[in-house]
Chains A and B, each alone.
Chain A
Amino acid sequence: MTASPVKGNPAAGGPRPGRLVAGSQPTGGPALTAGLVVDGLSVAYPAGPVLHDIRLAVRPGETFGLVGESGCGKTTLGYLLGGHLEAGGRVLGGRILVDGVDVLSLRPAALRRWRASHIAFVHQEAAGSLDPTMRVGRQVADVLRAQGLPRRAAVARARELLSRVRLPDVDALARRYPHQLSGGQQQRVVIACALATRPRLLVLDEPTTGLDASVQHEVLGLLTGLAAELATAVVLVSHDLPLVGQACDRVGVLYAGRLVEVGPVGEVLAAPAHPYTVALLDSAPTLGVPRAVRPLAAIPGRPPRPGETGYGCRFAPRCPAAVDTCRSAEPALEDLAATGHAVRCLRPGAVGRAVPDALPAAAERPGPVLLQVRGLTRRYGHTLALDNVDLTIHRGEVVGLVGESGSGKTTLARAVVGLGPPGGGSISLDGQELPARVTQRSPQLRRRVQMVFQNPDTTLNPEHRVRRILRRAIHTLRGHDDVPALARRAQLDDDLLDCLPARLSGGQKQRVAIARSFAGSPALVVCDEPVSALDVSVQAGVLEVLAQQRDHTGTSYLFISHDLAVVGYLADRIAVLYHGVLVEQGPTQQVLAGPHHPYTARLVAASAPAAAESTVAEPAAVVAPEPSPVDPAGNGHGCRYVSRCPYRIAGRCDRVAPPAVALGDGHLVRCHLDPASLPSATWLAPWVLVQGPDNQ
């Protein structure tokens, strides 16, 4: 990327252009004024300092990832880049320069004009950023009209922008309302709005949270491409370091309001120097690496809150390599290499990545069949949510269920616990028929099947203290533990027992929910995306609680997630659902490494870690409209994946429903392709291949 001279209109947006500054670059950056420069920025809230001496530079066309746990100041920094500071916040020092304009010195009126033309934000919830009563084409056009473009020109340019974010069939799509679009499409419209002003700086706050892995992958790819094309400086705020690795050129790791490591993404991910960066990487699951090979390490403790004082390195209390000097003097951000890789640590590189040290022991023979789902069919109105699903879960087994949003994962989960609508097919537990509705199940059966829900904020009664929640669960489920013992099993501290749920963090709430589901020794716990709303570092701890419960009690899980890496980490077997059809199921390693269903191949490719990405041979992308879930094949027969499948066989896949082909070891693939020509993910970690079908 070249440090191009100031492009376009550097400061023509406002009558008071602010101070033009040259030659005051942070350490390590080349001398330039284009793009974003943050220089010695410190910010405090009434409770205490939140940002401390932040120095970074993002060139036009460059994507910079800002990573850290919740409460490390990354959102405060992201918003401040646009001149937004929460009430009560004060800038103690430093500057933010965007193309040479000192953002923090602009007066309110000039700041508003500057924001309109120079900066754009994309927030976490795409649906919340769009006006639900306005057609999406008009929303984009309105942004342009606000800039003074005449009506017709605005409409035409809006079309252009929508096609630029690679939305299909723009003319029809522009006339739709936001709720008629999928989550990924909504986020693209938001990005189109953001790009409408040709901003000089684009700030994205967790832009892909809640999106499916494959959609996430596409949106991020789109962003980086557009950023380079429009020569916009992009700042991507996220808690997910591996995800940032997929999308960014450079990355900054924020801890307790300080940049602790910054550098080119490849270097930081391959050779993290700060123990915190290492901890973040170690807490995220890698696709194809199960718990038996590398257990995730949750970062102990939590980041200090603003105002919590401390001496020395702020990470020292949580750092495995901390020595006495770490606790007495705060290290400075020092360059490691000429590439701009800098770290704020006295002992850079002292902590290495956890390496897979052992091949997993051969899987234990599965126990007897616990749950048998046969021919399960569920409808919502005319929509077939589940089509003839057969699934078996053995005693003590974790079965992972993956699929994109709307594939019927949650419908299947709810049918198993008895919360969904009744329909065809049967579910039995230990050979005993489970009635479709929970109210028809006997107390004994009800106790044996429990559920952990997705959203930590609504899973607990907000009016009940933790102690009461657990006590009720023990009482109604006839548990034998007392409340503190049950809490301890989920690694909940005793002092949390007297808190209301509002006082707990997301991870703590989910632990309470897990403890609640285990109150009466269940045989099967259905986990519906239990960690998808949590920070990566918190997710590791919750997954560990689930894994330990399984190890201690022999409880089986039906574990649902859209995150293939998480499922692969925990599950013994994986089932893949596509539009209500179970297209594949089998042992985890075989499903992930293949040969597998073309749809599974697509999911695996989308979850590929950044390092492996270059080696992923993706089949030619087929751009096809999203199939309607009612009848994706268009004629009531054939494979539902046919319209998106790069391997489809014309005349067969669209006419005949594919058979379930057995590949051995209970691995079933519902596809017309010859097993030998099914795709594989050969780039996955070598042990997966060692453990492949030949070896078992």
Chain B
Amino acid sequence: MAVATRVSRRPSPVLAGSAAVVAAWVVCAAFWPDLVPYDPDLQAPADRFLPPGTDHWLGTDHYGRDVLSRLVAGARPVLVVAPLAALLSVAAGTALGLLAGAVRGWFDGLVMRLLDAVVVFPVIIAAVLFIALLGRSAPVLVLVIAAAFVPLVTRSVRAATLVEREKPYVEAARLRGEPLWSLVARELLPNVRGTVLVEATTRLGDAVFAAATLSFLGLGQPPGSPDWGSSVADNRLWVQLAPWTVLAPALAIGSLVVAVALLTDRLRRRLDRS
């Protein structure tokens, strides 16, 4: 009679699939020297542009390097840069958002206007500028991506903080004279944790994409690295002659971005339910 809504506790195939894809790339990133069939940087001019076959499963590129090996080795840069950038942006954004929301007043105004200024600056141009100034390296890439994400995280966390700070338990804490750090750390932070987790997972997916994009533009890893974004960029000249050299890293980026997005989305739903 009444329609029962069944809450499934089984792992969904989507969740399992995306988790498997992410796990596979993490394994590649961690252990690629043991997994690759060839040295990813080994040039073999005689074997240029070999199509996928039994010797080279995904073929070779214009230097005769094994595409599969470069693909496996290329997982590491992005899987180091993206989580670090996401972590950094969430940490900084949470701290700023909590403080701005808790203190309000001129501090809030100053922080938010400064972050607005960061947001209106086009990310790519900012990245070019910073990388020109600081050189091309993984730490710079992490910093640039994190800086671009900090305003977004700050805004979300600040909005959640503004909701919480009006609640009586926070007012009771102010009435009994809890110092600011205690108000933020004891009362507010535990109660905006949900927002912080959502931000962390969203930013991780975005960071993967951002890292790949910046690499494609030549703003990421040093030249010659097997990184996916740079591989797509390097090989695009020969895309008609050897499409597999572009297709493989492009699909790798796509698979990781989609898998991370699906995984975080499902995890978030689980989180909301519990």
Contact = CB atoms under 8 A, between A and B. Distances in A.
B2 A459 contact: no
B190 A463 contact: yes
B234 interface: no
Q: Which 10 pairs show the lowest CB-CB distances between chains A and B? A: A453-B168, A463-B190, A87-B4, A85-B2, A476-B176, A459-B168, A461-B169, A458-B167, A446-B177, A477-B176
Interface in B121-175: 167-169, 171-175
A455 interface: yes
B171 to A, nearest CB: 6
Interface in B1-38: 1-5
Nearest to A526: B175
B176 A446 contact: yes
Contacts of A87: 2-5
Given A87-B5, A88-B4, A461-B190, A417 B175 contact: yes
A419 B191 contact: no
A472 B186 CA distance: 10
B171 A461 contact: no
Interface of B: 1-5, 167-169, 171-178, 186-187, 190-191, 193
Given A461-B173, A464-B186, 12 more contacts: A84-B2, A85-B1, A87-B3, A111-B1, A438-B175, A439-B174, A443-B177, A447-B177, A450-B176, A462-B191, A463-B190, A472-B186
Contacts of B177: 438, 443, 446-447, 476-477
A473 interface: yes
11 contacts: A83-B2, A87-B4, A438-B174, A447-B176, A450-B176, A451-B175, A461-B169, A461-B173, A462-B169, A463-B191, A472-B173
A89 interface: yes
Contacts of B175: 417-419, 438, 446, 449-451
Nearest to A461: B169
B178 A455 contact: no
Interface in A459-516: 459-464, 472-473, 476-477, 513, 516
Interface in A644-694: none
Contacts of B173: 461, 472
Nearest to A414: B171
Interface in A404-455: 417-419, 438-439, 443, 446-447, 449-451, 453-455
Contacts of A473: 176
B201 to A, nearest CB: 20
Nearest to B2: A85
Interface of A: 83-89, 91, 104, 108, 111, 417-419, 438-439, 443, 446-447, 449-451, 453-455, 458-464, 472-473, 476-477, 513, 516-517, 519-520
A458 B4 CA distance: 31
Contacts of A451: 171-172, 175
Contacts of B3: 87, 108
A453 B174 CA distance: 13
A455 B171 CA distance: 13
A86 B3 CA distance: 8
Contact of A458 (B169, B176, B186, B193): B169
A463 B187 CA distance: 8
**Which one of B2, B171, B186 has the highest number of Cβ atoms from chain A below 10 Å of its Cβ?**
B2
A693 B173 CA distance: 43
A452 to B, nearest CB: 9
Given A453-B168, A458-B167, A419 B2 contact: no
A459 B172 contact: yes
Given A111-B1, A419-B171, A453-B168, A461 B191 contact: yes
A193 to B, nearest CB: 23
Contacts of A476: 176-178
A194 to B, nearest CB: 21
Contacts of A450: 175-176
A104 B1 CA distance: 8
B176 A419 contact: no
A461 B42 CA distance: 60
A449 B173 CA distance: 13
A510 B191 CA distance: 20
A450 B190 CA distance: 24
B186 to A, nearest CB: 7
Contact of A83 (B1, B169, B187): B1
B106 to A, nearest CB: 15
Contacts of B2: 83-87, 89
Nearest to B166: A458
A461 B187 contact: yes
A454 B172 CA distance: 12
**Which one of B2, B167, B175 has the highest number of Cβ atoms from chain A below 10 Å of its Cβ?**
B175
A104 B2 CA distance: 10
Nearest to B174: A438
B101 to A, nearest CB: 16
Contacts of B1: 83, 85, 91, 104, 108, 111
Contacts of A85: 1-2
Contacts of A446: 175-177
A109 to B, nearest CB: 12
**Which one of B3, B177, B187 has the highest number of Cβ atoms from chain A below 10 Å of its Cβ?**
B177
Contacts of A454: 168
A293 to B, nearest CB: 33
Contacts of B169: 458-462
A134 to B, nearest CB: 25
B189 to A, nearest CB: 9
B118 to A, nearest CB: 30
A473 B178 CA distance: 9
Contacts of A519: 176
Contact of B168 (A458, A463, A472): A458
A454 B169 CA distance: 11
Nearest to A528: B168
Given A458-B167, A461-B191, A516 B4 contact: no
A465 to B, nearest CB: 12
A449 B177 CA distance: 11
Contacts of B171: 419, 451, 453
B191 A453 contact: no
Nearest to A459: B168
A473 B175 CA distance: 10
A695 B154 CA distance: 65
A516 B176 CA distance: 10
A83 to B, nearest CB: 7
A515 B127 CA distance: 55
Nearest to B190: A463
Nearest to A111: B1
A95 to B, nearest CB: 13
A451 B169 CA distance: 11
B168 to A, nearest CB: 4
A530 to B, nearest CB: 11
A111 to B, nearest CB: 7
A45 to B, nearest CB: 12
Nearest to B6: A87
**Which one of B1, B186, B193 has the highest number of Cβ atoms from chain A below 10 Å of its Cβ?**
B1
A443 B2 CA distance: 57
Contacts of B176: 446-447, 450, 472-473, 476-477, 516, 519-520
B252 to A, nearest CB: 40
A453 B5 CA distance: 36
A464 B172 CA distance: 14
A500 B167 CA distance: 17
Nearest to A87: B4
A86 B4 CA distance: 8
A86 B2 CA distance: 7
Contacts of A477: 176-177
**Which one of A419, A461, A477 has the highest number of Cβ atoms from chain B below 10 Å of its Cβ?**
A461
Contact of B174 (A88, A419, A459): A419
A439 B193 CA distance: 26
Nearest to A477: B176
